[in-house]
Amino acid sequence: LAIDASAQSGRKIPDTLFGIFFEEINHAGAGGIWAELVDNRGFEAGGQNTPSDFSPWVIIGNETTVLAGTDRTSPFKRNPVALRVQANCDGNGCPSTCVGVYNPGFWGMNIEHGKGYELILYVKSLDSINITVSLTTSDGLQTLATSNIVASASDVSNWIKVQLELFAIGSAPNGRLQLTTRKKGVFWLDQVSLMPIDTYMGHGFRKDLVSMLADLKPRFIRFPGGCYVEGERLWNAFRWTASIGPWEERPGHFGDVWNYWTDDGLGYFEFLQLAEDLGASPVWVINNGISHRDSVKTTNISPWVQDTLNSIEFARGDSNSTWGSIRASMGHPEPFQLNYMAIGNENCGMNFYRENYLKFYYAIKEAYPDIKLITNCDGSRRTLDHPADYYDFHTYTSARNMFRQKDYFNSASKSGPKAFVSEYAVTDSSAGTGSLLASLGEAAFLIGLENNSDIVEMASYAPLFVNANDRRWNPDAIVFNSAQMYGTPSYWMQHFFKESSGATLNPTWILPDLSSQLAASAVTWKSSDHASYLKIKIVNIGSDSVNLKILVSGLTHTINSLSSSTTILTSSNAMDENSFLNPTKVVPQKSVLTDANTEMDVVISPHSLISFD
Ligand code: AHR
């Protein structure tokens, strides 16, 4: 393997090359990175016709002691459903146990000893109330935190907001929130929220999961989908206006592609906030009037275009503008840096896509000429018939094929829009539920993207997250449940690329007869303290080890073998995976590279991704 590390032969890799794609799929957001512990907090998930199904809430008590059901008495206009609880206790209170309701969260609430939880709820009653709020184990038998809501009839005759902090004195990874009483009477509940106090940067995100994203140093975050943006039907698609403003007033919606309800606590504002917190450029994917099964005619599309312009004003307008003022009222007076937008998702060729696209394109470019726009139509093999800054490219295939696709962009057009590989992953049986083999095919593909980064400017793996209790898509980069998480090899593979964006790509040559088994690239960069770094990455997707001589020419600095290292992602079997029981079976292993030099004889293990740093 020969590497020319001279300054004059290098080419700068775009600053944006590697980022992430977050979709609300597999409960990635609701019951995932959004730290809200209550599922169906507004009782709206069963629809606005009442009485409705208010699961996963469960009644505590039996038919004679308690009657609970939804009605339309909510104080919030856009989400009219509330829960009415009638405690049929005798004059001395309920017999031996309390009655009420509990919420199990998203397959259990992670209650941790020593941590604080903020409870907010809305309540009203015709009578005085005495409601016990408690965090308990999954069977309700052990109380981990408790508090009482006591109020006179006059205090609660109209809806009141109750806000209190619960401090856990015990742990339960699958705990629940109980609201119970021993007092006869009727009370109503609405918008019951329980959040851990400690969230990522205090912005409501689950710390452990978002830290895993931050560790990837993503340069952009594409959101909120994917098919989630489209919907099976337009009436179920994500609508940004319904996802902003006070959380209590958001109606929530049923995502009919991935088949679950979300309260939309994680809304457009929160996505922009997450991008900012990660230091990643937001890539806002909008629906241009097309779902999987219906579409808006171009003659009727103007309001949709206006809605999109409003979304940009919400992100970028000053705090006196109509939509910017709402952003400011939500705690972010400064504009967000929104510079990338995708018009639709996988809609090229669908009814009205191109015509609608043009309406959006010209309206956005006229108002915000600096925003880079991404078309759904693949321009890698043909010249597009419409203007765009980027074309979107998705690839889901086998590990072998993904490996071969490292060369796909070698023959893509150098003129015209740049490529945004916004979704790539190995998805056939070679992926298992996240195999080493899959990650090797993907690593080779990314090496190919580095080598073609004069054409490909952005790339992200898909999907990012799966709550193990609701696997709608397989595989995914990060697997989690209420309390645990691990990265699949595809997640760890991305760590090898985190210095690449903005670095210099140095030409590499590998013997042609090895190119069906090996892929390699080399990048150099300077750190903030002006030290120079060289990173050589090699993928061996074959089942034999390869003896390789690495020759580096053109270095202006001597190699500091004291600070050199090598990192390898491998395992004894190419189909090996991580799991909750063994979360670190396939993770990068770093060791000191004692003989680092411009000429090195190395052995590249079978089924491995290795870097020399
Ligand atoms: O990543 C999962 C899905 O794959 C996305 O929602 C969609 O864009 C693609 O078909």
DSSP string, 101-113: EEE-TTTSEEE-T
Q: Which atom of ligand 1 is nearest to the CA of 227?
A: 6
CATH no. of 58-196: 2.60.120.260
Which ligand 1 atom is the nearest neighbour of the CA of 462? Answer: 1
324 lines ligand 1 (CB under 6 A): no
- Kindly give the number of the ligand 1 atom that is closest to the alpha carbon of 23: 6
Task: Identify the three-state secondary structure at position 364.
Answer: helix
Whether the CB-CB separation of 460 and 17 falls below 8 Å is answered with: no
Q: Is the ipTM of this complex over 0.90?
A: yes
| CA-nearest residue, atom 5 of ligand 1 | 226
Q: Give the C-alpha separation, 280 to 262, whole Å.
A: 24
> Does the Cβ of 392 fall within 6 Å of ligand 1?
no
Report residues of the chain scoring pLDDT below 50. Answer: none
Q: How far is the CA of 396 from the centre of ligand 1 (A)?
A: 9
Ligand 1 pocket, residue 227 CB under 6 Å: yes
**How high is the pLDDT of residue 324?**
98
Does residue 116 sit in helix, strand or coil? strand
Portions of the chain given CATH number 3.20.20.80: 20-34+199-495
Which residues, in sequence order, are bridge partners of residue 196? 117
Query: What is the number of alpha carbons within 13 Å of residue 227 lying toward its C-beta?
Result: 15
Residue 306 has, within 13 A of its CA and on its CB side, a CA count of 4
Distance 424 CA to ligand 1 centre (A): 9
Q: Is the CB of 345 under 6 A from ligand 1?
A: yes
pLDDT on residue 532: 87
For the Cβ of 423 lying below 6 angstroms from any atom of ligand 1, the answer is yes
Q: Which of 392, 423, 466, 472 to mutate to test the pocket of ligand 1 (most atoms within 8 A of CB)?
A: 423
Nearest CA to ligand 1 atom 8: 226
Q: Which CATH code for domain 20-34+199-495?
A: 3.20.20.80
Query: Does any ligand 1 atom lie closer than 6 A to the CB of residue 436?
Result: no
Decide whether any atom of ligand 1 lies within 6 Å of the 229 Cβ: no
User: Which of ligand 1's atoms lies nearest the C-alpha of 425?
Assistant: 1
pLDDT of residue 98: 83
Question: Which residue among 23, 283, 393 is best mutated to probe the pocket of ligand 1, counting the most ligand atoms within 8 A of its Cβ?
Answer: 23
- The pTM score is 0.96
Atom number, ligand 1, closest to the C-alpha of residue 257: 6
| Distance spanning both ends of the chain, measured CA to CA | 15
H or E segment at 213?
helix 207-214
Please work out whether the CB of residue 224 comes within 6 Å of at least one atom of ligand 1.
Answer: no
Beta strands in 88-219 (DSSP E): 99-103, 109-111, 116-125, 129-136, 143-151, 160-167, 172-181, 185-196
pLDDT computed for residue 531 by the predictor? 82
Which CATH code of 3.10.105.10, 2.60.40.1180, 3.40.50.880, 3.20.20.70 fits the domain covering 2-11+504-612? 2.60.40.1180
Q: What's the CA-to-centroid distance between 226 and ligand 1, angstroms? A: 5
Asked whether the beta carbons of 450 and 521 are under 8 A apart, the reply is: yes
Q: How far is the CA of 359 from the centre of ligand 1 (A)?
A: 25
255 CB near ligand 1 (under 6 Å) = no
Separation of 227 CA from ligand 1 center, angstroms? 6
Kindly list the distances between the CA atom of residue 321 and the CA atoms of 185, 246, 338, in Å, as whole numbers in the listed order: 48, 18, 16
Query: What is the position in ligand 1's atom list of the atom closest to the CA of 225?
Result: 6
Of ligand 1's listed atoms, the one at least distance from the Cα of 228 is 6
- What stretches of 256-330 adopt beta strand conformation (E)? 260-262, 281-286
Ligand 1 pocket, 23 CB below 6 A? yes
Comma-separated ranges of CATH 2.60.40.1180 domains in the chain: 2-11+504-612
pLDDT of residue 287: 98
| Pocket of ligand 1 contains residue 463 by CB under 6 Å | yes
Nearest residue (CA) to ligand 1, atom 9: 226
Is the CB of 470 inside a 6 Å radius of any atom of ligand 1? no
Domain ranges in the chain with CATH number 2.60.120.260: 58-196
CA of 474 to the centre of ligand 1 (A): 11
Whether 425 lines ligand 1, by a CB cut-off of 6 Å, is no
Query: Which amino acid residue places its CA nearest to atom 6 of ligand 1?
Result: 226
- State the Cα angle at 18 between 16 and 21, rounded to 5°: 105
**Between the CA atoms of 589, 593, 598 and 603, what dihedral angle is there, to the nearest 10 degrees?**
-60
379 is written with which tokens? 């321009």
Residue 97 CA to ligand 1 centre (angstroms): 48
